[in-house]
Amino acid sequence: MGKQLKLRRQPTASDAAALTTTGGCSTLPRENMRLDMVECGSFSSSSDDDSEKKDDDYHHQLGKHHYHRPAHESSEGYYHHHITASSALLRLIPPLSILTLLPFLIWDAHPKDWEFFHLYPLIRHCEMVWSSLLQFSSWPVMICTFLAVAFLHKGSSSHSTTTSHLDVSSSNKENGAPNTMSQSSTLAIFAQSNWKMPFVISIIFSLLVIINMTLQMVCPHSIWNPFIWGWYRVYLPADISKTIESACLHSSSIDSIAATSSSNNIRPLCLSEKQWSDLSSGKFSSYNPEDVSAVERGLDFLQNQSGGLIINALARNVVGSIPALRQNMDGLASLFNQESSHTKLSLVIFENDSNDGTRQAFQSWSEQESSRKDGPRYTVDLMSCGPKNPNCELGIMDRYDKNPFTTPTASGVGKLGEFRQILLEYILGKSEYDSYSHMVILDADLGTSISPLGLLHTLGLESNIAGDYVVASSSGQVWPGTLGTITPPYDFSAFRAKESTGNQKVRQLHQSFCELMPAGDRWRNLCDASSPMQLFMIQSANDATNHHDKPYEVVSAFNGMTLYPMALIRDRGNKARYDSGDDGQRCEHVGFHLSLQETMYVNPKWRMNLKPNKPGGPVGLQAVKTLVYAIFGRPGVVSTLVISKIFFFFIVVSSCWRIGTTMKSLWHSFPLLKNLFMSLSHQICRAGNVRCLFIDVKQGFSMFQVQVKDVYEKV
């Protein structure tokens, strides 16, 4: 019987000397098996019985110990790809350093409230930096990368797998058969690369972000944001009025309110836990004494100390949002002591150039409220533009409708600053509002609950913050392009972080980012919503690890709804002005807050969640125009953004890929360690009174001597 010997490389002289032949099949000793495997095949045909018998003889002669070995041990990959703990540590240091140390080097604004046994602020800081650079949460990116390593990367068997593919391919060529393994072999080699597969994954994530951003802007909907499903709730104002009317609110002083809460300790203000959550957009609990105390202080101020509250809003083509605004006003009216003559509530509106019936809807609402049989609960004051133009038909084009190609320097804020200044001067010049203590400026088109308990909480903040300083809400939104993984505060353009030496670098980088185009260009307005540095600063300021649910200082913020003390505005006089900057591209709220020359705060517990299908900014056709302008009008800026996004995705993915492949190689080595300890435990249990025992561990381990000081009792 003839045998065919297939060797993958030519044996050396020393190998030939050590070669032994058994039953016509040549093998090398075990120490030389680091060469590739030896295959034996038959020249002539024989019966199955003879073949099986000869195989059994061969197996017996070769030895069960050498022949029946694990597949991973029988390949060269076992020796080269099964890494030791020390080599694994060396391979893990670079990617771990990139993921953990790089965020502290490229930007500042480092967390301060951390300790050796409290490292979460540092971890959260790294996560926010990477999420801002990617403009997508880093956690899904890491998880997806690790899953790709688990299912695509072949780990320690890669070498043997590739070699097997090459052998099959070579065999097919010899036999004239088609090479069916070439594609799978190519894919296997591709998957083992430390940069090819991470680069592909980075491209996929970048395209996913761009496509998702386009869909969310053009056709906004929660379906594009799967990561908010199940937890992101939009609180609507439909039932606010009925809920507040059932509460114990009309007490003459804070003492009686506290007594009511004390006698109903499970239901403070006679509201259930669910009602507390609904009236605060999910931020307050009736079981939290700090929440209850601040709300009670705010209620006492509103009913017994405040001269009144003004709701200030601009309106244009918002007829669909008026019902929600009316429900919010009805709810706020229930907070006031109707028997007191010095507490007031007024909605003051500036409307212009609407073509959907917005002005007529406000006029009808005003008439209905003023003609109530039991008297008006509040006033709806719709501002006129004088006897010659009472309906404010100004003929001004909407800022989002302007052609960005023909007017590249058109203001990104339009006439908003001028209209807000006109409305502010109207309020200050009207004697009916002289006694009003506070003013809330809000966006009329949001259509969500304004969190009445959040407003009371803000009025009741300790140290009379709301009496001396401007306080903005922390209303959240789904950020386009993130699939719902990031829900930062609303209105990036109005945000300016508190300036300090600790965040100087990140502020300067943001300024340089906005200076990619010259002053006056529309980009100077768009850059706030596109800047990774701005996203990081607003996320960092609004993160609970930094503010601990306490009001935090900023230079400017709006977030869709802000509370202003009227005394502060009156004290500034003519200097309190809305200003869009020298080039007309700065958000008007920033200019106004700077003119007040006082720090301001954001109350993280005064929150409303914007509707995913009705975000701030342009949508639909207006969003298409904005995107087309961004791509074709400023190709250099867009190219920079896309390349940087791919680059940072590649940094994160390649680092996670290296970590994953290293850990997978260790995992392939883990069965050896597992077998060691199983054998050790088994022999100890059987040892009985044996004090010292030796264990021969075959898979690469030397002798282990185990000293057993205490004799194990037999179970």
The predicted-structure confidence for 412-449, as pLDDT tens digits, reads as follows 888 999 999 999 999 999 999 999 999 999 999 989 99
- pLDDT for 5-55, tens place per residue? 444 444 554 454 444 444 444 444 444 444 444 444 444 444 444 544 444
Q: Which two tokens stand for residue 18?
A: 């050590």
- pLDDT for 193-222, tens place per residue? 788 999 999 999 999 999 999 999 899 999
Dist. CA 31–CA 49, nearest whole Å = 33
Whether 161 and 154 have beta carbons less than 8 Å apart is answered as yes
Q: What percent of the chain has pLDDT over 90?
A: 56
**Would you state the pLDDT for residue 109?**
85
Tell me if residue 554 falls in helix, strand or coil. strand
Dist. CA 454–CA 477, nearest whole Å = 17
**Would you state the pLDDT for residue 176?**
54
**Would you state the pLDDT for residue 323?**
96
Which segments of 29-112 does DSSP mark as H helices, in order? 48-62, 64-67, 76-81, 85-106
Q: Give start-end residues of each CATH 3.90.550.10 domain in the chain.
A: 240-618
Tell me if residue 683 falls in helix, strand or coil. helix
Whether 551 and 603 have beta carbons less than 8 Å apart is answered as yes
Least confident of 304-318, 407-421, 456-470, 499-513: 407-421
Query: What is the average per-residue pLDDT within 363-390?
Result: 94
Question: Higher model confidence: residue 147 or residue 41?
Answer: 147
**Would you state the pLDDT for residue 456?**
97
Dist. CA 529–CA 209, nearest whole Å = 15
Q: Per residue in 243-261, is it b (16+ CB within 10 Å) or e — as a string?
A: bbeebbbbbeebeebbebb
**Would you state the pLDDT for residue 185?**
64
**Would you state the pLDDT for residue 141?**
97
Contacts 24+ apart (CB under 8 A), 583-586: 583/409, 583/519, 583/520, 583/524, 584/411, 584/413, 584/520, 585/411, 585/412, 585/413, 585/519, 585/520, 585/521, 585/522, 585/524, 585/525, 586/413, 586/524, 586/525
**Would you state the pLDDT for residue 2?**
47
**Would you state the pLDDT for residue 633?**
80
**Would you state the pLDDT for residue 685?**
59
Dist. CA 111–CA 107, nearest whole Å = 12
0.85 surpassed by pTM = no
Q: Tell me which residue of 38, 67, 43 sits closest to 55, measured CA to CA.
A: 67
Query: What is the average per-residue pLDDT within 256-273?
Result: 67
Q: Tell me which residue of 118, 49, 95 sits closest to 198, measured CA to CA.
A: 95
| Residue 259 pLDDT class (50, 70, 90 cuts) | low
Tell me: pLDDT of 458 over 60: yes
| Residue 668 pLDDT class (50, 70, 90 cuts) | confident
| Residue 340 pLDDT class (50, 70, 90 cuts) | low
Backbone angles phi, psi at 136, to 5 degrees: -165, 140
Dist. CA 285–CA 267, nearest whole Å = 10
Tell me: pLDDT of 591 over 90: yes
Q: What percent of the chain has pLDDT over 70?
A: 73
**What is the CATH code of the structural domain delimited by 240-618?**
3.90.550.10
Nearby residues of 209 by Cβ (< 8 Å), 6 or more positions away: 134, 135, 136, 481, 482, 645
Least confident of 337-351, 469-483, 491-505: 337-351
Question: Higher model confidence: residue 348 or residue 257?
Answer: 348
| Residue 556 pLDDT class (50, 70, 90 cuts) | very high
Whether 632 and 572 have beta carbons less than 8 Å apart is answered as no
Question: Higher model confidence: residue 100 or residue 621?
Answer: 100
Q: Which two tokens stand for residue 271?
A: 């509201």
